[in-house]
Each structure stands twice: as C-alpha cells, then as structure tokens.
C-alpha cells in the first residue's frame, strides 16, 4: 500500500495561488459594489422598470458577445495578462455605469463591464487551473469561495458607503482603485 504525502507547495506556487485568489476576490467585489446603487441610479436616470431592465441586460449581453473570444485572447496573451487587463477594464466599466448620466451611457458601460468580466472569468479560471496542476490537488473551489467572499465584501462596502452618505462617484472610484 502506498501513501501519498501532501508536499508543501513551492513558494512560487503559493504566491501564484495568492495572486489568483486576489483576482477572484476583486472580480466578486467589483460588480457587487454597484448593485446596491441600482435603485439610486434608476431614479437618477428617471426611467421605468422596463427600460431599466433592458439597460441592465447589457451586462450579460456583453458577456455573451465577448465570451467566445476569451479563449483566443488567453492563448494569444496568456491567462495572467488577460485576467489582470480584464479586471482593470471591468472596473472602468463599473465606474462608468455608476457615473452615467443617461440610460445609453449606463447600458454601454454595463456592456463593456460584462464583456471584460467574461474575459476575466475565463482567464482567471484558466490561470487557477494552471496553479492547481502545480499544486497536484484540487484548489479551484477555494478560488470560487474567495469570489463569493469578494462579492459579500463589495456589497457590504456599498451598503456602508450608502449608510455613510458617500456619493456614488467617490465610492465607486475607491472600489475600482482598490
């Protein structure tokens, strides 16, 4: 009978795991910072439920549109670069959506954020699987748990900002920068 002894991962592998975890956390937190602002955004844009629903549908429409190209970008530029670049541009899209002064700008910004989020999702999962291979055991679920923690953190940040009377601009700029 053989017994597999869990080996301690190399320092480079542990650092890679932390980096991927940061990507997942950030990805969860970005969009969750915007969601509690939706009622205020809808009111400020002065639109009804149907128009608002169509505008919000731009996020998944962007994700569907761009999702098919994500694999091509990962093969061309590497999963780490695409994940980081996609995260940065998702933050830009979320910030622009939060500051939009028209429904067209709001929908366009959400479309951009959704497209960049699709790139990020594919790339960060691909990178997470590469790190998992180096670990020699399953760790991908820990990344998805970290995403959930990021989403809870982002929603909580937004709730705190609203409770403290912090306006959308500074709040979303801070969350995008962090």
Taking only the tens place, the pLDDT of each residue in 21-40 is: 999 999 999 999 999 999 99
Full residue range of the structural domain in which residue 121 is found: 21-177
- Phi/psi of residue 7, nearest 5 degrees: -90, 150
pTM of the model: 0.90
Residue 11 forms part of a structural domain: no
110 lies in some domain:
yes
Q: What is the pLDDT of residues 84-123, one digit of tens each?
A: 999 999 999 999 999 999 999 999 999 999 999 999 999 9
Q: Is residue 1 part of a domain?
A: no
- Answer yes or no: is 15 within a domain: no
Residue 64 sits in a domain of what CATH number?
Answer: 1.20.1250.20
Q: What percentage of the chain exceeds 70 in pLDDT?
A: 97
81 within a domain of the structure (yes/no): yes
Q: Could you give the number of structural domains in the chain? A: 1
């Amino acid at each position: 009978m053989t017994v597999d002894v869990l080996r301690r991962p190399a320092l480079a592998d542990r650092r890679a795991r932390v980096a991927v975890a940061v990507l997942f956390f950030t990805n969860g937190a970005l969009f969750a910072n915007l969601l509690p602002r939706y009622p205020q955004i809808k009111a400020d844009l002065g639109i009804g439920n149907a128009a608002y629903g169509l505008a919000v549908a731009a996020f998944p429409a962007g994700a569907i549109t761009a999702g098919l190209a994500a694999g091509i970008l990962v093969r061309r530029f590497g999963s780490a670069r695409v994940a980081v670049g996609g995260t940065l541009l998702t933050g830009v899209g979320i910030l622009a959506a939060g500051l939009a002064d028209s429904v067209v700008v709001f929908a366009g910004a959400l479309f951009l954020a959704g497209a960049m989020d699709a790139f990020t999702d594919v790339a960060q999962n691909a990178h997470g699987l590469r790190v998992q291979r180096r670990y020699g055991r399953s760790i991908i679920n820990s990344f998805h748990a970290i995403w959930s923690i990021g989403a809870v953190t982002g929603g909580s940040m937004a709730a705190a900002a609203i409770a403290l009377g912090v306006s959308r601009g500074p709040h979303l700029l801070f969350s995008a920068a962090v």
